[in-house]
A and B are shown apart, each in its own frame.
Chain A
Amino acid sequence: MTLSLVMHDWRLLERIVGLTNRLGCAYTRVDVRAGEAHYHATIDFVGPPDALRRLDAQLSRLLNDDKEMSR
């Protein structure tokens, strides 16, 4: 599963790594670029399909809170 994520706080990567590990998944590539006001991360995740689905859903929640915190 490859996700393109927009982070306002670059430290969110730490949460993403923690969540990935907690759900029994891993990543095979992390690419982060700093933009003007946010960071663009492209991450390749591997893991059981069910866990990846949960990870995707929880990451959306995390990114929503990050977006709200940056307003």
Chain B
Amino acid sequence: MLQPAESTGAQLVLDVLADEGVEIVFGYPGGANMPLYDKLYAHSIEHVLVRHEAAAAFAAGGYARASGRVGVCFATSGPGATNLVTGLLDALMDSVPVVAVTGQVRTALMGTDGFQEADVTSIMGPVTKRSVCVRDVRDLERVLRAAFRVARGPRPGPVLVDVPSDILKAACPKMDPFAARPVAAAPEHPGDGAIDETIELIRNAKRPVAIVGGGARSANAVYLYRELVAMLELPHTATINGLGCATPGDPRFLGMLGMHGWKAANLAVNTADLVLALGMRFDDRVTGKPDKFARNAKIVHADVDASEFGKILPVAVALRGDLRQTLERLVRRLGREETMPRFSGWAAEAKALGGPLPADRAPHGELSATDVLDAFFAVAPDDTIVSTDVGQHQMWAAQRQRAIHPRNFLTSAGLGSMGFGLPAAIGAQFAHPERTVVAVCGDGGFQMSMAELATVRRHELPVKILLIDNRRLGMVRQWQELFYERRYSHTDLSDNPDFVTIASGYGIRGERIEDAGELRDALERFLGSREPALLHCACFPAENVWPLIPPGATVDDAMEAAPQTEAIVA
């Protein structure tokens, strides 16, 4: 029987989103998604008009990273949709739940090279968990509901739903909020056998190390992780996505692992006889040369995604399932042991394997980026949310950050996409309006998303931008210095614009410093107000990120300074 046509596809999209708990969408309108924007006009969902669709995807990701909820972005067909690619891939690489809804040309035009037509679902296939075009309005609600289930997990990620404009306009029954619909399957958990094996390996280990990754954040398993390492008095380290998992001030936390990780962390893993890899995936920026990584260790790998087991390294025990449940079982089983294995002696030894972070010295009076970041992290409120862009400043920030929770340190880790910092901070600020949110950006990456200052201004977001301006594409310049015989090909940005004037053009207060003596007061002003602000730090350009394990190399090859004493900058 025909149901009364009380709604339209566009209205249904918004109603389903709202029913899924969506309160905010980041997006940009255009011809094909105009029916959707028309219904948004009077809808309860808040819409944030970004200034480039790439920022919509990054902001949705920043919102999701900071809140744990699904981030949503909208774009129109063709160029609007293709502008989402990078942000969706970023969400895929870092397992961030995002749903993108794109307008498509009307079904009759699809395949005719119609105006602003693109094969969006094919383009988006490899950058999402699933990308689907809805060609019948009767499928729309089912597909949208499924998109949310798939985006949420078990391993979160982005899903794209492409909706032709005639489907958005099509009449359909109103959403029934009480209709029965599929629920997500209960997460799996590892069996007792694997847990027993793990405990046996821990009992027999002399030098175990835990490595935590972004999986602990996704699974809301941070408190259990803290409990596990505390009860075993384990030395532990984190991938860049796992930063913030450690209890603040935990003396057994060795700092970030990997290419620019802390020496103690890398050496401890190298010395370990057992690695507990928890919600991490052995990225090459972590392992360097995989066959030399943790070369003396048996590996217990806990992950919700079975395809990660043995992908890079062979594992002794695979703990497949939701990390929270895995850790709960481990902690509970360990709690029942008559004698608890404890590793505080080894933890102290592991800590002593490394020293402070090496840093290049700034020429007299000039501002050093690492000094700026040291000072910033020393004075920023404990619950500050920091997003970073990509490059040297990202690594310096990751080395120094003091996040009290992994949702407080947001970075494009797996994809490493410049342009992420500012829009991700915008998303995070919408998720947590009361918190201090700071985007730490390089001068290169900031210029990829600078137009989002308009979004900041329009919504009067108190987002802060700490701009580390070394007038170079610093990370590439560093590699040119170290690995390309100082041929500084196209990494010079010494003709950068006046960033303070640009900020002021958007109505945002900016301040420029170039002298180390100005730093403290400037940071106080920067963090002291509830207004958006830009602190432009003009830093000396030759500073490098140390330590550095060259790509594909091992911890034995770690560099702590440039081979020649004086670094030359083009």
Contacts and interface: CB of A to CB of B under 8 A. Distances in A.
Contacts of A61: 305-307
A65 B125 contact: no
Contacts of B147: 69
Interface in B140-172: 142-143, 146-147, 149-150, 159
Contact of B150 (A11, A18, A69): A69
A53 interface: yes
Interface string A12-34: 00110011001000000000000
A61 to B, nearest CB: 5
A9 B132 contact: yes
A40 to B, nearest CB: 20
Contacts, number: 45
Given A54-B311, A60-B306, A71 B125 contact: no
A18 B130 contact: no
Given A15-B125, A18-B125, A69 B311 contact: no
Specify the main secondary structure of chain A where it touches its partner: helix
B315 to A, nearest CB: 13
Given A11-B121, A14-B122, A15-B126, A69 B146 contact: yes
28 contacts: A9-B132, A11-B121, A11-B122, A15-B125, A15-B126, A22-B126, A54-B307, A54-B311, A57-B306, A57-B309, A57-B311, A60-B307, A61-B305, A65-B129, A65-B130, A68-B146, A68-B149, A68-B150, A69-B130, A69-B146, A69-B147, A69-B150, A69-B159, A70-B146, A71-B142, A71-B146, A71-B149, A71-B182
Interface string A35-71: 0000000000000000001100110110001101111
Interface residues of A, number: 19
Contacts of B122: 11, 14
Contacts of A19: 126
Contacts of B191: none
A66 B130 contact: yes
A24 B557 CA distance: 30
Interface string B226-270: 000000000000000000000000000000000000000000000
B310 interface: yes
Interface of A: 9, 11, 14-15, 18-19, 22, 53-54, 57-58, 60-61, 65-66, 68-71
A54 B281 CA distance: 13
Contacts of B146: 68-71
A69 B143 contact: yes
Interface of B: 121-122, 125-126, 129-130, 132, 142-143, 146-147, 149-150, 159, 182, 184-185, 305-307, 309-311
A22 B305 CA distance: 19
A57 B312 CA distance: 13
Given A22-B126, A57-B306, 7 more contacts: A11-B121, A19-B126, A53-B310, A54-B307, A54-B311, A57-B307, A57-B309
Contacts of A9: 132
Contacts of B150: 65, 68-69
A22 B127 CA distance: 13
Contacts of B130: 65-66, 69
A11 B133 CA distance: 11
Contacts of B311: 54, 57
Contacts of B182: 71
B312 to A, nearest CB: 10
User: Which of A54, A61, A68, A70 has most chain B Cβ within 10 Å?
Assistant: A68
A60 B307 CA distance: 8
A14 B184 CA distance: 26
Contacts of B126: 15, 18-19, 22
A18 B132 CA distance: 17
B132 A69 contact: yes
A14 B143 CA distance: 19
Q: Which 3 A-B pairs have the closest CB atoms?
A: A57-B307, A71-B182, A69-B146
